[in-house]
């Protein structure tokens, strides 16, 4: 009996001891074991940044050459131009009388050079191209959608025309008279601190004595205001033609181009040939208007023929000359 009582007394102790021993691993894992390291977070890959391709400047080249066209590299000598030649800044192109050339800038710009025109390349970038019109008349076409600005600056003047889409013509006499006419779209025309917008069918002119470009006006339908022709029958081979045209116009006579004064007045000496001559005067405007007027001249510079006079007393068959008798 005493033994069974001792067992019963020890039973709670043994049970508690068993519980304590059983709880030791749980306590270790709960309180003493180091917590597991946090999960490693892999950072997401950086976003892919598309690097734009480096921009390229517009490439100019000669695509069409008719007549006598010359090119000059930098400050070198003039040489015969060939279609397909590339043009770089400081290069220049000029056309002689009865000649023309077309300059292409990728698919964005086209410049048509008329006869007696000189153009040099000033700047070429991906966003802006600029050429310098030394003298003559040039027509520029800038195609839309390329976000490219094209400028034509006049030499010996601060006049400048620019557009991002359209067709315009600039004329420069090389002495400060510059005209701009728009055929498509619109063009910004600057000079002497003044800015005007020239729209299709309009033109504007700046002269050395004006305060800037004139207010844009419709392209005139008539250019020759008056022309003074000399008499048609001549005994000299030189004649003088004078008159007045719309300021900013360009004139041509005898295959040669020239410009009137800032007020439109002009004088021109023309050489004629012996015999029949037809002299044609042509006027052109930046708006595309052309007008012609001509006159016939007959030149005879041969000396007058000598007159032969037969005196009656010099002929033996003629009656004798009368004699004078004295009266008594």
Give yes or no for residue 11 having a pLDDT over 70: no
| Enclosing domain of residue 238 | 224-299
Both 103 and 193 in one domain: the answer is: yes
Please give the Cα distance from 68 to 115 (Å, whole number). Answer: 9
Both 121 and 259 in one domain: the answer is: no
pLDDT at 8: 64
Give yes or no for residue 231 having a pLDDT over 60: yes
Q: Which residue has the higher pLDDT, 57 or 312?
A: 57
Q: Which of 17-31, 46-60, 143-157 comes out lowest in average pLDDT?
A: 17-31
Nearest in space to 240 (alpha carbons), one of 267, 265, 273, 266: 267
- Domain limit, last residue, from 218, 244, 259: 218
Give yes or no for residue 12 having a pLDDT over 80: no
pLDDT at 182: 97
The residue-averaged pLDDT of 171-196 equals: 96
Give yes or no for residue 296 having a pLDDT over 90: yes
C-alpha triplet 15, 16, 18: angle, nearest 5°: 65
Both 164 and 281 in one domain: the answer is: no
CATH number of the domain enclosing 128: 2.60.120.1440
Both 212 and 233 in one domain: the answer is: no
Give yes or no for residue 207 having a pLDDT over 70: yes
Give yes or no for residue 324 having a pLDDT over 80: no
Give yes or no for residue 27 having a pLDDT over 50: yes
DSSP per-residue string spanning 247-279: TT-EEEETTEEE---TTSEEEEEEE--SEEEEE
Q: Which residue has the higher pLDDT, 43 or 217?
A: 217
DSSP per-residue string spanning 189-240: EEETTEEEEEEBTEEEEE-TTSSSSPPPEEPPS--EEEEE---SEESSSEEE
Helix (H, G, I), strand (E, B) or coil at 3: helix
Both 66 and 208 in one domain: the answer is: yes
pLDDT at 43: 77
Give yes or no for residue 65 having a pLDDT over 90: yes
Structure tokens that stand for 245 in this block: 């045209």
Provide the pLDDT confidence category of residue 22 given band limits of 50, 70 and 90: low
pLDDT at 269: 95
Both 116 and 171 in one domain: the answer is: yes
Please give the Cα distance from 4 to 35 (Å, whole number). Answer: 47
Give yes or no for residue 328 having a pLDDT over 50: no
Provide the pLDDT confidence category of residue 297 given band limits of 50, 70 and 90: very high
Both 112 and 202 in one domain: the answer is: yes
pTM of the model: 0.76
The residue-averaged pLDDT of 225-250 equals: 94
Please give the Cα distance from 283 to 86 (Å, whole number). Answer: 33
CATH number of the domain enclosing 253: 2.60.40.10
Nearest in space to 99 (alpha carbons), one of 257, 222, 241, 315: 257
C-alpha triplet 196, 159, 118: angle, nearest 5°: 130
Confirm whether 8 is domain-assigned. Answer: no
Q: Which of left, alpha, beta for 74 (phi over 0: left; psi -120 to 50: alpha)?
A: left
Count of domains forming the chain = 2
Give yes or no for residue 326 having a pLDDT over 50: no
Give yes or no for residue 79 having a pLDDT over 60: yes
Both 65 and 204 in one domain: the answer is: yes
pLDDT at 257: 93
pLDDT at 118: 97
Both 155 and 126 in one domain: the answer is: yes
C-alpha triplet 39, 43, 47: angle, nearest 5°: 165
Please give the Cα distance from 30 to 185 (Å, whole number). Answer: 83
Please give the Cα distance from 187 to 86 (Å, whole number). Answer: 27
Per residue in 260-275, pLDDT tens? Answer: 999 999 999 999 999 9
Both 149 and 196 in one domain: the answer is: yes
Provide the pLDDT confidence category of residue 74 given band limits of 50, 70 and 90: confident
Both 111 and 187 in one domain: the answer is: yes
Give yes or no for residue 196 having a pLDDT over 90: yes
| All residues at 6 or more sequence positions from 49 whose CB lies less than 8 Å from its CB, including other chains | none
pLDDT at 327: 45
Both 197 and 244 in one domain: the answer is: no
């Amino acid at each position: 009996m005493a033994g069974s009582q001792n067992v019963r007394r020890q039973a709670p102790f043994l049970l508690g001891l068993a519980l304590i021993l059983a709880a030791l691993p749980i306590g270790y894992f709960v309180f003493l074991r180091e917590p597991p390291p946090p999960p490693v977070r892999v950072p997401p890959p950086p976003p892919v940044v598309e690097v734009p391709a480096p921009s390229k400047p517009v490439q100019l080249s000669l695509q069409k050459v008719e007549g006598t066209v010359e090119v000059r590299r930098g400050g070198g000598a003039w040489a015969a131009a060939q279609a397909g030649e590339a043009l770089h800044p400081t290069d220049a192109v000029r056309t002689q009388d009865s000649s023309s050339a077309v300059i292409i800038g990728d698919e964005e710009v086209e410049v048509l050079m008329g006869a007696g025109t000189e153009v040099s390349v000033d700047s070429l970038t991906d966003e802006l191209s600029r050429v310098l019109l030394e003298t003559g008349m040039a027509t520029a076409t800038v195609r839309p959608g390329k976000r490219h600005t094209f400028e034509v600056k006049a030499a010996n003047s601060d006049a400048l025309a620019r557009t991002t889409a359209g067709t315009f013509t600039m004329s420069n006499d090389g002495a400060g008279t510059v005209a701009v006419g728009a055929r498509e779209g619109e063009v910004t025309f600057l000079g002497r601190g003044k800015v005007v917008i020239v729209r299709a069918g309009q033109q504007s002119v700046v002269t050395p004595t004006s305060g800037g470009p004139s207010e844009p006006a419709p392209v005139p339908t008539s250019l020759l205001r008056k022309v003074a022709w000399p008499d048609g029958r001549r005994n000299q081979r030189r004649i003088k033609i004078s008159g007045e045209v719309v300021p900013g116009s360009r004139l041509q006579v005898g295959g040669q181009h020239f410009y009137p004064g800032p007020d439109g007045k002009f004088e021109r000496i023309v050489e004629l040939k012996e015999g029949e001559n037809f002299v044609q005067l042509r006027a052109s405007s930046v708006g595309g208007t052309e007008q012609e007027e001509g006159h016939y001249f007959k030149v005879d510079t041969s000396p007058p023929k000598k007159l032969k006079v037969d005196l009656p007393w010099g002929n033996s068959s003629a009656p004798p000359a009368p004699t004078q008798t004295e009266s008594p």
